[in-house]
Structures are given as structure tokens and as C-alpha cells.
A and B are shown apart, each in its own frame.
Chain A
Amino acid sequence: MSRFEILRFALRGLAANKLRSFLTTLGILIGVAAVILLVAFGEGASRSIQQNIQQLGSNTLTVSASFAGGGPGGFAGGRGGRGGGPRTQARQLTLDDARALTDRAQAPSVRSVSPVVTANGTAAVYEGTSHTVSQLVGTYPSYFEATNKVVEKGAYFVNDDVVAARKVMVVGRTVADELFGAADPVGRQVTVSGVPFTVVGVLREAGSSGMQDADDVAIVPLPAVQQSLTGFGPLGSIIVQATGAGTTDAAQDEVTAILDQRHGIAPGGVADYRILNQAALQETVSSTIGVFTALLGAVAAISLLVGGIGITNIMLVTVTERTREIGIRKAIGAPRSAILGQFLTEATVLSLAGGLAGVLVALAGSRFPVAGIQPVVVPSSIALALGVSVGIGLFFGGYPANRAAKLRPIQALRHE
């Protein structure tokens, strides 16, 4: 009997019970698609989180004030008594702190220091159009590099603008769209709290990171925002960029030493500031993502297992209820190889059709973002899902068929 003949027999066998063939295929399809989609979703989530962290900047430390170590009424004058004495009050971060950090001798691992003041929810007006900018940042030009903010159109502001406290502004994509619509924002004047700012650049779109729109931002020179909005009070934070990926920990130690000294904190004492290390954060999040991916993988493995049991069940039932048919075929002279070939081909066709359809469904499904996360299909998950379900289909289609084909015809014929 030729292979073509066996294939024809198998197809006829499948066509003879269309509903059962369809349900088997569907079971395999769902199993395969579920595994691929779950893994793709996990991968997509992990990539999106990593991207969000990278958006925060590379090799940076964020120093911010902390009241944990301070005494009562921690709002002390920033530039007050430096030096020693037992600390009773927490001190704010000051521009002097920031300047101290730029000391090459004491902090060789620091590449740049950007003092930051932030005004939240500031209204900006352009020709009658008003938009509340969720983050108005006053800083130095080094801030752009440290936080991976790239100007797409126009220019950055420069150190001269800071020294001269020029009222210039770099806006995020959301601000540009809200205020100017389709018009080119560069060169136009925006009024913030009655003070006119000239837009010099527009940032490249960063995308939303979590709940916050990272593009709803405006960046201006530090003195400009202090003069017009926040006053010359304490800094919100200081962004420190290390010289390289390997020096962030060294930079953190140096920053700690300088600030401890300036704020009069004894070794082992509770600091009145916090340092957020980007690299450490990334490491923590990566390991969290690892757990997350493992969890999704476990869910995927279970769905594959359940799908596999479904395939096993249908294949066993199919062969068992056709044992009599196998008996008839043997009685009229079918060799075992022909019977086994037919059932194996049936199982292969079902598994492959279901598996490939499952891959297609998964590929189609992965084009749609779920909860803001774009799934990323992992090729090895396709191979795994397809391999396991086809393997299960072949084994549990082939093994009982082989057992039935080995029976004497009369035993198979008497089977009910």
C-alpha cells in the first residue's frame, strides 16, 4: 500500500467523523495558542517594564530629600549651619549640595550633576489655549542626557541660558500637541504664571510609563523656574550621572560621603536624603520580572498539560471506539503497517492542523495589545507548544492504534 493511499484512507477516516475531528483540532489549537500567547504576553510585559526603566535614564542616581532622619519641623533653611553638632533637623537639598557633588577630586565617578526643581500641575497658556503641564522641571542642560530626553525638533537650552536665567522651554510631545496642535511650537511664546517662555525644542515621544504620561512635561532652565514659580527654595532632587555603567555604585558611595559630610550625618546615622540607584532598581525589577515570567510559564505549562490530556483523551477514545473497524480491516487482509500508518497519519494531520492553526491564532492575537502591553512572540515557545502537542497527538494516537492493530482480528471484532 502506497503512502498516498494511506493518506487518502486517513483523510477519509477524518472526514467520516467531522465533529470529532473538528473538536480534536480545536483542543490542540487552543492549547498551542494559549501557550504562545501567554509567553508572548509575559515577554511583552517584561520588555515594556525594562523600557520604562531605561526611559528614566542610564547610569543615574536620583538624590532626593528624606525626612526620615530629621527631627520635628524638618523644613529648615537649606543654607543654614553647615558643619557638625548632633542633628536635630533634616536638611533640604540645596544648590550648594549639587555644586559640591561636581568636585572632581571628591567624586571622580560622577560625570554630571543636574539639580532639579519640579512644579506639578502648572497651567501653560498659548494664545488662549490652556494646558496643565503635569511636570514643569527646572534644571541644567546635563539633565537631558542623564534622563535620556532627546530633543526631536528645535534645540536644547544651554548653560548660558541657565546663567542668564533665560525664559526658554523644551516641551514634551503631549504639551506640544495640546497647546499648538499641528503648528510648529519652536519659537512661540507660552505663558506660565504670567511669565512668558519661548519654546526652543520639542522632546521625542517617550510613551507613557505606568500611570504617568512621560510626555506631559516641560523643561526650563533652573533659575528661570525659581524666579517665576518656585522661588529660590530647596531643590526637589539632584540627578547624578555616573561616568559609566560600572561606576554607579562608586558614584553612590562618593555622593553619600559628600552629602553625609555636608549634612553632618555621623557614620551609621540616619541620612536625611535618599539615593535611588537606577542600576540597582533595574536589577530588582529584572528579578521581579523573572518571577513574573516564570509564573506565566507555569500557567502556560499547565494549559499545555491540560491541552495534552484533552488530545490524549480524544485520541484514546477515537482508537478504542474504532477497534471493531480495525478488526474488520484486519479480517479482509489489512497488514498491521497499513492500519498503523492510517491512524498515525490521522493523528498527524489533526495535530499538525490544530497546532499550525493555533500558531496562526496566536500570531494574530499577539498583534493586539492587552492592558497596554504589546505581546512579543517568543519563537522557542512556538516550537515548544507545537512540538509537545504534536508529540502527544502522535504518541496517544499511535500507541493505542498499534495495540489494537496487534490484536487477532477476532479479538478486535468482538470489541465493543
Chain B
Amino acid sequence: MSVPVLSVRDLSKVYGEGDARVHALRGVSLTVERGDYVAIMGASGSGKSTLMNILGCLDVPSSGRYLIEGTDVGSLDERRLAVLRNRKIGFVFQSFNLIPRMSALANVELPMAYGGVGAAERRARALAALERVGLADRVRHEPNELSGGQQQRVAVARALVTAPSLLLADEPTGNLDTASTRDVLGIFDELNVSGRTIVIITHEDDVAERAKRVVRLVDGRIVDDRRQAPVEGAPPRARTPEVPA
């Protein structure tokens, strides 16, 4: 088997000092193969967001190793880390995190601008990504002119426009209504069908049911790791989103 997209060993994260020490992660080990669709579940405070931030290279672990496609993230300097975030990881936040007062198109172009892609190619790829999430007619709108679902789809377009090896989503549907949730999860299914590796955090069972593999976190430890579908092939609900949960 090829090098796993993502591999963490004995990851732990401690916040605070002295009496205020909080162990958010207590030794998490996880390997994600290319093409997999993993849902990480857990109650609030279980450490799932901490794990996600570390996987997205937004935060650093207190101890443990983290490899993306065989590269040890802990050994990278600031500049290489920026390149890694730019090329290998697409991150979708619960609160969208689009840059205000910039059009949808400019927001989607942004990662490519930092990646050094030429202006013409950038525009073409950003338009393609927005079309893929069904927002071809909203490219000139600024975030405050879009609905929550539309904003999240712009964020998804921004995450996938650099063709990253790994798409991370931190409760992407937490702030969305059911229709928008269905839209966004449908896009994830399609992306996974086309081979993209996805790791999604959620506390909703019906979101988790769409993943090929569900990992449960309690108090910073993995307590359950269940496969719902093989790595190869479509995710369980792909192309049949109308089947009731």
C-alpha cells in the first residue's frame, strides 16, 4: 500500500500550566489512507477540534509525531509549513472564515495567489471550483451578501481549489440549515467519489453515516474506530442522498 495521506502517532496536547492543565489529547494514533472518508465524532470537550487543528497544521501538538504523505510536520520550519498548508491541506471551518469585503471569486483565488499560480490560471480554476459547488452565478458577491450555506460552499471551493491531498472539515454543517447541510455533504460525497481524502469532524450521527469510517473520541482518546465502507469505492450515501436516515 502507498504512503498514507495522514499518520499520527501518540499525539497529545496539553493546555495551560500547573493546576489549570487540561489534557485535550491523550495519545491519539490514527492513519488515514488515500481516498478514505473519515468522520471524527465526540462530545464537546472530547478533543476533536484540537485534533483537527493539529491535523490542519493550525496548531502544534505537545508531543507525538504527525506525518502528511510521509513528511514529518514537526520538522518543518515556518515557511515550509505555510507551503504545506497551502498545497496539501484544504480546511473548511464551522464559521466559514471567508475574508470579509472580498468577492467569492477573490476568496477562492486567495490560496492560489499565495501558492504562486498565475492570474489567468487562477481565475479559471477559481471559477471552475465555484461552479463545482454550484455558485457560478454568485462569484461577484461578497460574503455578507451570501447565505450561510452559500458561504460554506465558497469555503469548500476555496479548500479544494488547490487540489489538496487532504480535505479537513471542522463541523462544516454546524451552522447550516438542513437544505444547506445536504448541499455541502453532497459536495463532499462527490469529492470523495473522485478520489479526494476527507476528514470531517461532527457530532451529528446522520453526517457521520455518510463517511466510510467513523472514529469516536472521548476525553482525548480514541474509543471506537468503525469502518462503514471500504476505502475504495463510493461512500455509503453517495448518489442516494434522498434515502432517509
Q: Which A residues lie at the B interface, using CB under 8 A?
A: 1, 5, 9, 12, 16-17, 325, 327-338, 408-410, 413
Q: Which 9 A-B residue pairs are closest in the complex by CB-CB distance? A: A333-B86, A16-B101, A335-B82, A409-B58, A333-B85, A410-B58, A410-B59, A332-B111, A334-B114
Closest residue of chain B to A9 (Cβ to Cβ) is B113
Near A by CB (< 8 A), chain B positions 58-88 give 58-60, 78-79, 82-87
* A17 near B58: Cβ-Cβ < 8 Å: no
Q: Does B147 count as interface, using CB distance less than 8 angstroms?
A: no
Q: Does B228 count as interface, using CB distance less than 8 angstroms?
A: no
* A17 near B86: Cβ-Cβ < 8 Å: no
Q: Does B44 count as interface, using CB distance less than 8 angstroms?
A: no
Nearest-neighbour CB distance to chain B for A306, whole angstroms, equals 30
* B97 near A329: Cβ-Cβ < 8 Å: no
* B99 near A325: Cβ-Cβ < 8 Å: yes
- In the assembled complex, the Cα of A9 lies from the Cα of B101 at a distance in Å of 12
Nearest-neighbour CB distance to chain A for B102, whole angstroms, equals 7
- The size of the chain B interface, using a CB distance under 8 A, is 32
Q: What 1/0 mask marks residues of chain B from 93 to 115 whose CB sits below 8 Å from any chain A CB?
A: 10001111110001000110111
- In the assembled complex, the Cα of A325 lies from the Cα of B106 at a distance in Å of 14
Nearest-neighbour CB distance to chain A for B131, whole angstroms, equals 20
30 residue pairs of the A-B complex, CB under 8 angstroms, read A1-B114, A5-B113, A9-B113, A12-B102, A17-B101, A325-B99, A328-B98, A329-B110, A330-B58, A331-B56, A331-B91, A332-B85, A333-B82, A333-B83, A333-B84, A333-B85, A333-B86, A333-B87, A333-B114, A333-B162, A334-B86, A334-B114, A335-B78, A336-B78, A336-B82, A337-B79, A338-B114, A409-B57, A409-B59, A413-B97
Closest residue of chain B to A405 (Cβ to Cβ) is B78
Q: Which B residues lie at the A interface, using CB under 8 A?
A: 53, 56-60, 78-79, 82-87, 89, 91, 93, 97-102, 106, 110-111, 113-116, 158, 162
- In the assembled complex, the Cα of A332 lies from the Cα of B91 at a distance in Å of 7
- In the assembled complex, the Cα of A49 lies from the Cα of B181 at a distance in Å of 80
Residues of A within 8 A of B59 (CB): 408-410
Q: Is the interface of A mostly helix, strand, loop or mixed?
A: helix
- In the assembled complex, the Cα of A211 lies from the Cα of B15 at a distance in Å of 78
Nearest-neighbour CB distance to chain B for A292, whole angstroms, equals 50
- In the assembled complex, the Cα of A409 lies from the Cα of B86 at a distance in Å of 13
* B58 near A413: Cβ-Cβ < 8 Å: yes
Closest residue of chain A to B80 (Cβ to Cβ) is A335
* A335 near B83: Cβ-Cβ < 8 Å: yes
Residues of B within 8 A of A332 (CB): 85-86, 91, 110-111, 114, 158
- In the assembled complex, the Cα of A337 lies from the Cα of B110 at a distance in Å of 15
Residues of B within 8 A of A328 (CB): 97-99
* B85 near A330: Cβ-Cβ < 8 Å: yes
Nearest-neighbour CB distance to chain A for B125, whole angstroms, equals 14
- In the assembled complex, the Cα of A115 lies from the Cα of B100 at a distance in Å of 84
Nearest-neighbour CB distance to chain A for B224, whole angstroms, equals 26
* B58 near A331: Cβ-Cβ < 8 Å: yes
- In the assembled complex, the Cα of A413 lies from the Cα of B94 at a distance in Å of 12
- In the assembled complex, the Cα of A334 lies from the Cα of B79 at a distance in Å of 9
Residues of B within 8 A of A336 (CB): 78-79, 82
- In the assembled complex, the Cα of A337 lies from the Cα of B116 at a distance in Å of 13
- In the assembled complex, the Cα of A408 lies from the Cα of B50 at a distance in Å of 13
Residues of B within 8 A of A408 (CB): 58-60
- Apart from A331-B85, A332-B110, A409-B85, list 11 A-B contacts with CB within 8 A: A12-B106, A16-B101, A17-B101, A327-B97, A328-B97, A328-B99, A329-B99, A331-B93, A333-B87, A408-B58, A409-B58
* A333 near B101: Cβ-Cβ < 8 Å: no
* A16 near B100: Cβ-Cβ < 8 Å: yes
Nearest-neighbour CB distance to chain B for A332, whole angstroms, equals 4
* A16 near B102: Cβ-Cβ < 8 Å: yes
Selected contact of A333 from candidates B60, B93, B115, CB within 8 Å? B115
* B82 near A331: Cβ-Cβ < 8 Å: no
* A1 near B113: Cβ-Cβ < 8 Å: yes
Residue among A1, A5, A409 with the most chain B CB within 10 A? A409
* B100 near A335: Cβ-Cβ < 8 Å: no
- In the assembled complex, the Cα of A327 lies from the Cα of B91 at a distance in Å of 12
Residues of A within 8 A of B158 (CB): 332
Residues of B within 8 A of A331 (CB): 56, 58, 85, 91, 93, 97
- In the assembled complex, the Cα of A177 lies from the Cα of B141 at a distance in Å of 72
Residues of A within 8 A of B58 (CB): 330-331, 408-410, 413
Nearest-neighbour CB distance to chain B for A320, whole angstroms, equals 15
- In the assembled complex, the Cα of A329 lies from the Cα of B114 at a distance in Å of 9
- In the assembled complex, the Cα of A333 lies from the Cα of B83 at a distance in Å of 6
Residue among A17, A327, A335, A413 with the most chain B CB within 10 A? A335
Residues of B within 8 A of A9 (CB): 113
Residues of A within 8 A of B60 (CB): 408
- In the assembled complex, the Cα of A413 lies from the Cα of B111 at a distance in Å of 17
Residues of B within 8 A of A1 (CB): 113-114, 116
Residues of A within 8 A of B106 (CB): 12
Nearest-neighbour CB distance to chain A for B162, whole angstroms, equals 8
- In the assembled complex, the Cα of A332 lies from the Cα of B93 at a distance in Å of 11
- In the assembled complex, the Cα of A393 lies from the Cα of B219 at a distance in Å of 48
Closest residue of chain A to B82 (Cβ to Cβ) is A335
- In the assembled complex, the Cα of A335 lies from the Cα of B77 at a distance in Å of 11
- In the assembled complex, the Cα of A10 lies from the Cα of B83 at a distance in Å of 21
- In the assembled complex, the Cα of A9 lies from the Cα of B185 at a distance in Å of 32
Nearest-neighbour CB distance to chain B for A393, whole angstroms, equals 22
- In the assembled complex, the Cα of A334 lies from the Cα of B83 at a distance in Å of 8
Closest residue of chain A to B54 (Cβ to Cβ) is A410
* B100 near A330: Cβ-Cβ < 8 Å: no
Residues of B within 8 A of A335 (CB): 78-79, 82-83, 114
